[in-house]
Amino acid sequence: MIKAKITIDGQSRWLNALFYEYFLPVYPDKSFYRAFLQKNFPYEFCDSYSPIPFTHKKVPRITPTITDIKIADDCRRMVESPFQSLAVNETLNFEFGLLDTSTERDQYYEALSKERCNRFLDRGLNPNDSGLYDMLLRPSELNDTRINSSIAGGLFSIEFDSTENDEFFMNWLILGTKNEGQFEFYKGDDPHFMRIEFWDCYC
């Protein structure tokens, strides 16, 4: 039998129920997102069928919305314009570390990636170059990417018995303050079965 306990700022409670879902991947692979853009918003028609380092079926296909099409068209016009192309190239060199010799195709996909990220699209798929998490981040069902860290974001739902000393947990729930803590799991008499630590956690 496995038992679980939550501890926050020295306050502990044995749990009656725990549901935990973590976000995977934390650091999506840029090459996988590039394959996603090629498949769904190709710069040239042949791009959507070009060889990619992933099983083609695993790269999701979506039905583009009017907004999706407009974003792609704007990015295409931007890199193809003789006046805009230079500015775009300089921006991409600064932000993405690309060489001056990057092609219009590469500029298009980098600009498209940045624009879709700025509009909070494709969360869980795009590289999220800012490195920040936000409320729109969702779990990804794709397991093709590398995990570069043991750090993961997640959601958990807990249930425990009420006591007369629940003021701390009630304040956490009502005020939404961020706290650090940990879940401890016990299997039988094993005191070191598993532990999950968390920080910046709020209700």
What confidence category does residue 136 fall into, taking pLDDT thresholds of 50, 70 and 90?
Answer: very low
What confidence category does residue 195 fall into, taking pLDDT thresholds of 50, 70 and 90?
Answer: low
Which two tokens mark 143? 């397991």
Q: How many CA atoms lie within 13 A of 104 on its CB side?
A: 13
pLDDT at 68: 92
pLDDT at 76: 92
Residue 186, SS3 per DSSP: strand
Is the pLDDT score of 36 beyond 80? Answer: yes
Q: Tokens 């940990």 label which residue?
A: 182
Pick the range with the lowest mean pLDDT from 76-80, 133-137, 157-161: 133-137
Closest CA to 140 of 18, 31, 33, 48: 33
- CB 115, CB 100: distance < 8 Å: no
Is the pLDDT score of 87 beyond 60? Answer: no
Higher pLDDT, residue 1 or 28: 1
Higher pLDDT, residue 3 or 176: 3
Report, as an integer, the average pLDDT of 140-155. 48
> Quick check: pTM over 0.85?
no
pLDDT at 180: 75
**Beta-bridge partner residues of 197:** 182
Identify whether 25 is preceded by a cis peptide bond (ω within 30 of 0). yes
Cα-trace Rg, the chain: 22
DSSP secondary structure code for residue 152 in this structure? -
Is the pLDDT score of 80 beyond 70? Answer: yes
- Using DSSP bridges, classify how beta strands 17-22 and 11-14 pair: parallel, antiparallel or unpaired: unpaired
Q: Which of 31-40, 57-66, 134-143 has the highest mean pLDDT?
A: 31-40
**Beta-bridge partner residues of 21:** 155
Q: Is residue 4 classed exposed, middle or buried when 0-12, 13-18 and 19+ CB atoms within 10 A define those classes?
A: buried
Is the pLDDT score of 19 beyond 70? Answer: yes
DSSP secondary structure code for residue 129 in this structure? T
